[in-house]
Every structure is written in structure tokens, then in C-alpha cells.
Amino acid sequence: MKLEKVLNILMWVLLAVSAFLIVSLTMNLSDNEADPTMGAWINTNLTWSYILLGASAVVALVFAVLHTATDKDAAKKGLIALVFAGVVLAISYAFASDAIPQFHGVDKFVADGSLTQSVSKWIGTTLYATYILLFLSIIAIAVSSVYRIFK
């Protein structure tokens, strides 16, 4: 019960800080793009958003790990999902080619170093992974429909 109260107070404090920052930003908006006050409030709000996003991501990961560590079925399902993702990634990587594709303007990307054989290999890997997962999704939908008919 005490933890709930602390979390509830923390939530209200975060809400109050967020509301203060938003009101302060709207009060300092101007048409002058070079206004340093407006730029500072925009940066402050963006920093606050990044802090909230990072904190919520950390909390979500911590609670997911705690749930997985305390529940053996959840740990088993999570491990199966990771193994499945690894298999799909390995198959996709094996099929992908590291040849740089030829299209209009490719020389610009090769010249500035943003398109290398490694990048091309990983682009192919993600495309093959997308195709494999799409194919498996279509099969799962078809099998579940047939299963419902016979059930």
C-alpha cells in the first residue's frame, strides 16, 4: 500500500512538471525564430521528453525482466521467441547477398561511404526477414481459419 502511494505521488509530480513546462513553452512562443527564450523552452521541453522516454523504457525493461525471472512459463516463452527470432535472422543472413545493387544514383552513396557491402548485406537480411515473417503470418492466418472451420 505504501508503494502505491509513493508511485501515485511520483506520477502527480511528473504530471505537474510536464504541465508547467508546456504552459511555460506556450507562454514564450513568438514569431521571432531567433528568440533565445523560445529556443531555450523548446530545448527544455525536448530534454524533458527524452528523460521521460528513457525512464519509461528502463522501467518497462526492468519490469519485463523481473516478470520473466519470477515466472518460469514467461521465461520459457521469451526464450522460445528469442530463439525463433535468431533462426529467422540467421536464415535471412544466409540468403542475403552483399552485392551492391545497381540503380540510378548509386555511385553517390558508394562514394560517400553510406552504401558498403556490409550495409547491402544487412539491408538484404532485413528484407528477407520481412518476407519470411510475412509468409509465416499468412500461413498462420490460413491455418487458424481452417482450424476454426473443423473445430
Q: List all residues 6 or more positions away from 15 whose beta carbon is below 8 Å from its beta carbon.
A: none
Quick check: 37 and 28 in contact, CB under 8 A? yes
Asked whether the predicted pLDDT for residue 19 surpasses 70, the reply is yes
User: pLDDT digit string (tens) for 93-139?
Assistant: 999 988 887 788 888 888 888 888 888 899 999 999 999 999 999 99
Q: Indicate the length of the chain as a whole number.
A: 151
Going from N- to C-terminal start, the domains of the chain cover 2-70, 72-150
pTM of the model: 0.57
What pLDDT is recorded for position 1?
A: 62
Nearest to 79, CA basis, from 68, 89, 90: 68
Joined together, the cell numbers standing for residue 67 give 516478470
> What's the burial of 115, exposed, middle or buried (CB within 10 Å: 0-12/13-18/19+)?
middle
